Structure 1
Amino acid sequence: MRNASSRIVLFTGALLIGAGLAGSQASAGQVAPPPLVLSPNLTEPWTMQLQPRVNRRAVAPAQRRQVEQPQVRRANWWSPRQQPVRQQPQARTTQSRQIAPQFLPTIVKYDGKYKPGTIVIDTNARYLYLVQKDGTARRYGVGVGKPGFEWAGRHRISRKAEWPDWRPPAEMRKRRPDLPTFMAGGPENPLGARALYLGSTLYRIHGSNQPWTIGHAVSSGCIRMRNEDVTDLYERVGVGTTVIVI
């Protein structure tokens, strides 16, 4: 209690001295310091009691926002509940992977000059016709040579092959060094399910594992058909059949 009474006396003296200084400064025209706050616990050291009261209204708005803005705790990015959302790959549209309806097989009237059993290929219209005896023709859609690889002529089927092997010619491998020198027959083979070889040329009527290319100029001169269409044609014609390319 004696120590507490001593501190009270010292603090009261300090207040009197401070008041005297404030009065002298005020008389000299100086601004008085902010009011002092007395701690309710008088046993605390007197230096801790001389803390000025903070006027929150005097704080600049920007500073006030910085002080009052709550601190946001960032979630753990790799937390099981906060896993990043991975963008799902868009489903591949099949519209561009389908053959145009007009290139599906059909029966059409035929009054041309070629006799039944002849294959006539119209490269401009992208159709192959198999002339029949009743004044009709079986018409199939085909893919033809791209610009620079067009050709026309008359040949005969010299050989037929099921699921043919593919040996890209040297001219093609020179343009496409990535091509293999040999590829066994099968679903991945560009020649498809069947091949009809035209004379001694490098050209063939063959299937394709890219049926969406039917109706377009995409090949290096060969005539492409859908696998199911070339299989149907394969069963209807034999070696020696005349092929007219116009």
Structure 2
Amino acid sequence: MPDNRSPNPALSRRKFLSAAAAGTATLGLAGCVSVPSTQKLVVIDTPPEPDPQLSSLASMYGPLQDGPYLIPAVPFDKIPSRFHRQEVADPTGERPGTIVVDVSQHFLYLVRPRGRAMRYGVGLGRAGFEWSGKGVIERKAEWPRWHPPAEMIDRQPELEKYRTTYNKQTGEWEGGMDGGLNNPLGARAHYIYQDGKDTLYRVHGSPEWWTIGKSVSSGCVRMINQDVIDLYGRVTTGSPILVTNGVGVA
């Protein structure tokens, strides 16, 4: 049950494609280099090297000791294979290092060099709670503390014990739920900011692997804990993120 606030206007697929073509968006394509027509251009296509972190499904989704916590194995055979972590041809056209969430397909892409991308299955917010647009990963956290917003507590009174209050003397927020295996933010969280402000939306882990590929949460992008740990190791603070409705996936 991630953080939530009123959603921003959705970014349509047409706008996404036109922005990429124009090259004016913050997350746009890199500039092109002209080649004189009198020269013969020889292109040697070298196959990408295998990713050492992509192994058997049993290894990727097996039990994982992470600090003091033993993350349970995920029954990957109960999750549609398209949502398993895998490297694919990049369908987004974004620059390497960009995170693209395609809400129409329940996929998260991390764009890699040479036209490739890491693809992960994700769970998303149900109707009325989605967020879309462009932002940056302003900060990251391991086993993060969860601070449910007041609006969520009002809808779910059983969360009252996790209400957060601001201590003016210490300048810190107090309360919330400690990080751990049952924390809704899971093993890792990536905090999405837009125009320097916290959107209250996160890309985070979740113990509820059965929600991957579905829209059931209150707005955030949730991942299998094993997958969010993998993503966390590949993403740097300041990475751009684009959440959009469709990137032309076949």
CA offsets 1:91-141 (integer angstroms, 9 cap, x no match): xxx989932221111111115331111000001100000001021110000
CA distance, structure 2, for counterparts of residue 97 and residue 174 of structure 1:
37
CA distance, structure 2, for counterparts of residue 227 and residue 168 of structure 1:
20
| Alpha-carbon RMSD | 1.8
Larger RCO, structures 1/2 (Cα 8 Å, 6+ apart): 2
**Residues 145, 177 of structure 2: 8 Å contact kept:** yes
Q: How does 1:136-147 map to 2 (within 5 A)?
A: 136-147=116-127
Aligned match of 2:83: 103
Give the TM-score taking structure 1 as reference length: 0.60
How many residues align? The count is 153
Deviation, structure 1 residue 197: 0.3
Secondary structure of the structure 2 residue equivalent to 1:229: helix
**Residues 99, 213 of structure 1: 8 Å contact kept:** no
Decide which of 164, 172, 191 is 2:152's aligned counterpart.
Answer: 172
Deviation, structure 1 residue 151: 2.0
Q: Which amino acid aligns with 1:197?
A: Y
The runs of at least 4 aligned residues of structure 1 exceeding 3 Å deviation read 94-98
Query: Cα distance 1:238–1:116, how it changes in 2: closer, same or farther (>3 A)?
Result: same
Q: Which amino acid aligns with 2:81?
A: P
- Does residue 234 (structure 1) correspond to residue 232 (structure 2)? The answer is yes
Q: Which structure features the higher share of helix residues?
A: 1
Secondary structure of the structure 2 residue equivalent to 1:201: strand
Q: Which amino acid aligns with 2:237?
A: V
Deviation, structure 1 residue 176: 0.9
Give the TM-score taking structure 2 as reference length: 0.59
Aligned match of 2:211: 213
Unaligned 5+ segments in structure 1 are 1-93
CA offsets 1:12-46 (integer angstroms, 9 cap, x no match): xxxxxxxxxxxxxxxxxxxxxxxxxxxxxxxxxxx
Q: Percent identity at matched positions?
A: 53
Q: Which amino acid aligns with 1:177?
A: P
**Residues 151, 221 of structure 1: 8 Å contact kept:** yes
Q: Which amino acid aligns with 1:135?
A: G
Larger Cα-atom Rg: 1
Unaligned 5+ segments in structure 2 are 1-73, 164-175, 245-250
Aligned match of 2:106: 126
Aligned match of 2:130: 150
Query: Cα distance 1:96–1:113, how it changes in 2: closer, same or farther (>3 A)?
Result: closer
